[in-house]
Chain A
Amino acid sequence: MKSKILKYTLLFIVLLTIVGGIYYLKLPNRHKAIVKTKLYHGLGLVDEKWNIQSNDSSISLITPTLVIDNIYKSMEGPKVIRSFQLDDTKNELVWITSFGTKVLSTNEVDQLSNDYICHTNIDLFEGEHYSRWQLNHRIGEQYPRLTSMSNGIESYKFPEGFGFPVFTNENLLLATQSLNQNIIGDTFTIKHEVNLGFKPHSKQMKPLMSKTVFVMLPYDAKNPFQGPTDSNPNMCLPVETKNHSYLNDKGEPLSGHWFIFPGKDTYSYDITDQLQLKDSTTMHHIAAHLHPYAETLALRDKTTDSILFISKAENYTDKIGLKSVSYFSSAEGIMLYPDHNYELVLKTNNSTKVNQDMMASMFVFLYDKKMHNKLKLYTP
């Protein structure tokens, strides 16, 4: 009897392993990375703890260990996510003024190449943030992304006198994902360190609000992975349709993550709706998010037919990756108007012989007059 139970249990385990194995092998690279990261951290095979240190002017968040065992293109690599507060022991208004992300060795001291950063996103809990200031209509108005850093643009600070106001015990969300475009073979481990700089409240500071604008391209809902055809030449070839997929006013699908074909190309997208400008205001900071083989991303005022800013991407010549991506920062700012139309224009040059994936976003920081009026009256 006992041997029968043992036999069937073993058979069940073998079957489960085979089915689980087949299921795992069929997963795309990014899902495999999620499973592996969960296993590595869950079983304690690598350090799964966060190291968070804060003081009166900055917070540093060092991630659990991320295992790089494969080529991981954009949006594919091991990632970690967590909420945090700048200082949960205090309830003080401060101004976030700078952001930075870098790659560390697992000893949390030695800095490694930033080639292993796909992106680091900082989001707000918009309910808590806007409700405190009685700006409830802003909750759910747009995706609550404060900013993003990515390969080629790993750190930046706002122009002097500008910042993003938050209370020290407010919830912020950090998601950081690794990247490995080049190294095949040896498995290695890394950590990300994310830094946010902040200043105490001062009536002289001016608040910024973040808007995310990005290029989206139409794809064929029925045959998304057919890409452009003779009968449908304007379609893009999306990388996937579950994520970064949106509908326009007519209910047609658009992708914010698509493949570019070998050679040069130009893409444009009207971002007037994404900007949601209600009043004229000034733009003081722009951080762009681009993928390798992007050359430039321009923000254009269609109404006046003028280029407001061009973010230039410098690609490595000896490997895949972005060496640098330029950003815009100005205390004087550039005027934006609610009755103007704006667009993003992306130029790419895929110098390889195979398709490469592409994304093109700008995190645009605008002067927030409504918030400023509230802050002028704020009594700590």
Chain B
Amino acid sequence: MTTIRLLIWLILTLFLSCNTSTKDLPVLNYKVDATGNKHYYKINYKRFTNQLGQPFTTDSIKNKICIANFFFTRCPSICPPMRTELVSIAEEFSGDKNVMLISHTIDPKHDSISVLKTYAEATGIPDSKWQFIRASEEETKLQAETYMTNFKPNEDGSDFYHSSFVALVDEKQQIRGFYNILIKEEVERLKRDIKILLS
């Protein structure tokens, strides 16, 4: 009997260790500073407001696993297909309360709180799961830098240069991965890495 129990325990341990083969995700939130050293920082929020008109602060992401991107509601190019993928991610992790999506608008002049609210409602995802946030352009640019990206309006004003990559942030506000959400395999990699952070 003891031998059988030991065997079951061994098999379970082996299974769990395989299952949580927590391939450590790298910590990517650092910059090489002027002295040549890696300077690590955390993702913080100040002066952002969500689609409900509520302040969005660092406390809003504490102990959360976040998937963050930069977008604008009038985007004619990459945002619509990105939104489709993000909806599928929000649905897949709908039961995990500490998984949250954050979309920063890069067009705060047009994307008012009411515009963001309408856009958020159209996704069909609860507000608590997907936060659409805005701040001044200057503040948003600084936030983009912390997420290691950038945006700028195109010359003809019809679109912005912005990225199709999303960042994965862990519960300690550290960036753990970047994913090109327009590539199917990358969406799968993102989902896998969210599960790794959850486990």
Instruction: Show the binding face of A for B, using Cβ within 8 Å.
Output: 81-83, 88-89, 91, 125, 127-128, 131-134, 136, 139-140, 169, 171, 173, 247, 251, 374, 376-379
CB neighbours of B178 from chain A (8 A): 125, 127-128, 171
Option from A89, A91, A127, A173 in Cβ contact (under 8 Å) with B148: A127
Question: C-beta contact mask, B20-32 vs A, less than 8 Å → 1, else 0?
Answer: 0001101110111
Q: Counting CB contacts under 8 A, is B163 at the interface? A: yes
Option from B26, B28, B145, B183 in Cβ contact (under 8 Å) with A81: B183
Given contacts A82-B183, A132-B30, contact A127 B150 (CB under 8 A): yes
Q: Counting CB contacts under 8 A, is B9 at the interface? A: no
In the bound complex, CA of A242 to CA of B67 (Å):
32
Q: A127 to B185, Cβ gap below 8 A?
A: no
Can you report 14 A-B residue pairs in the complex whose CB atoms are below 8 A from each other? A91-B26, A91-B27, A91-B28, A127-B147, A127-B165, A131-B145, A132-B32, A134-B32, A139-B150, A140-B150, A251-B156, A374-B36, A377-B34, A379-B35
Give the distance to chain B from A348, nearest Cβ to Cβ, in Å: 31
Most A CB contacts (10 A, CB to CB) among B26, B151, B186 go to: B26
Q: A140 to B32, Cβ gap below 8 A?
A: no
Q: A169 to B26, Cβ gap below 8 A?
A: yes
Instruction: Show the binding face of B for A, using Cβ within 8 Å.
Output: 23-24, 26-28, 30-38, 145, 147-152, 156, 161, 163, 165, 178-180, 183, 185-186, 189
Option from A83, A131, A134 in Cβ contact (under 8 Å) with B183: A83
Q: What residue in chain A is nearest B147 (Cβ atoms)? A: A127
Q: What residue in chain A is nearest B152 (Cβ atoms)? A: A140
In the bound complex, CA of A127 to CA of B167 (Å):
11
Given contacts A82-B183, A88-B26, A125-B180, contact A133 B32 (CB under 8 A): yes
In the bound complex, CA of A127 to CA of B182 (Å):
16
In the bound complex, CA of A139 to CA of B38 (Å):
20
Q: A374 to B152, Cβ gap below 8 A?
A: no
Q: What residue in chain A is nearest B185 (Cβ atoms)? A: A82
In the bound complex, CA of A134 to CA of B38 (Å):
11
Give the distance to chain B from A36, nearest Cβ to Cβ, in Å: 16
Q: A374 to B32, Cβ gap below 8 A?
A: yes
Q: B149 to A379, Cβ gap below 8 A?
A: no
CB neighbours of A88 from chain B (8 A): 23, 26
| Given A127-B149, A128-B178: 10 more A-B contacts, CB < 8 Å | A83-B183, A83-B186, A91-B28, A127-B150, A128-B28, A131-B149, A171-B180, A173-B180, A379-B35, A379-B37
Q: A136 to B145, Cβ gap below 8 A?
A: yes
CB neighbours of A379 from chain B (8 A): 35-38
In the bound complex, CA of A21 to CA of B140 (Å):
47
Q: B148 to A128, Cβ gap below 8 A?
A: yes
In the bound complex, CA of A133 to CA of B148 (Å):
10
In the bound complex, CA of A91 to CA of B38 (Å):
11
CB neighbours of A133 from chain B (8 A): 31-32
In the bound complex, CA of A286 to CA of B36 (Å):
30
